[in-house]
Amino acid sequence: MWWCGSPTRVTHAETVVWFHGGGYLVGTPESMSNAADVYNAQGYRFASVGFRLMPWHRFPAQVYDAFVGVREMLCWLTNRGETGGIILGGSSAGGMSAALVAYGRDLQDLYHVDGSQVKAYVSCAAVLDAADMLVDCAPPGPAGAAFYRTGLDLPGCDPTDRDSVRTMLLPYSPIDVIRREVVEGTLPHVPYFGVHGTADEMSPIETERAFASELACALGLAAPRFTRSPTHAGSTW
């Protein structure tokens, strides 16, 4: 974990906890220093949480690290008397980890994370369907099967069968997690905000739109408003 620091004047009780992007293949917590500057300028404390990378550490080790990092961060904040909770966020694959921590009730229970401390979730082009990144972007044929064998640790998964891989990824796919929890009546009531580029191929904006719409419906909120950024052509908020 890498703590980025506190603002000159803290004006928000919540601490922002962020996960970097990079497809679980590259990236470091330190790469989020610019994000820390932005949030610090708004009066938020900010922490960037690191995780092990593929293929040296097979997925879902990255998800495990996210939950452990958040759990330890909450303990650290509690010991300091900071009780405002956390805002979870992340970029690309990091946004997928953040969404799982925010909304994955079963995973919260498994890794002993107090989900009530999560006050909001922020997606920066998050991968909200695990298959978008780990299936659809994998190379075809034997190269793809080799990637699955070396990069994934999903018991019972047939690395030569993409449908098998897709099925075994469902517990780690945020959009599928919220769908399951809607059926079970256990979906956490965590507010959401997302920003996404319209040309993102690894994490299509259509998935983010579906995630936002289904989440709003499940939580009984107003339909999400999708607006185009006036300053960044080609991006949608």
Mean pLDDT of residues grouped by 10 in the chain (237 residues)?
77 95 91 89 94 94 97 93 94 96 96 97 95 89 90 92 94 96 92 89 89 91 75 44
pLDDT computed for residue 122 by the predictor? 97
Distance CA 102, CA 122 (A): 10
Residue 40 near residue 46 (C-beta atoms within 8 A): yes
Mind giving me the DSSP string for 139-163?
PSHHHHHHHHHHHB--TT--TT-HH
Backbone phi, psi, residue 59, to 5°: -65, 135
Distance CA 170, CA 118 (A): 22
SS (H, E, C) 61-116: HHHHHHHHHHHHHHHHHHHCCCCCCEEEEEECHHHHHHHHHHHCHHHHHHHCCCHH
Q: Which residue has the tokens 């959009």?
A: 175
The CA-based dihedral angle spanning residues 201, 37, 192, 107, taken in that order and rounded to the nearest 10 degrees: 80
* Closest CA relative to residue 121, chosen from 31, 215, 203: 215
The distance of Cα 52 from the centroid of its chain, to the nearest Å, equals 15
Q: Is 234 left (phi over 0), alpha (psi -120 to 50) or beta?
A: left
pLDDT computed for residue 236 by the predictor? 43
Cα→Cα distances 8→1, 40, 213, Å: 22, 8, 37
pLDDT computed for residue 8 by the predictor? 87
Mind giving me the DSSP string for 39-69?
HHHTT-EEEEE----TTTS-BTHHHHHHHHH
Helix H or strand E segment including 173 = none
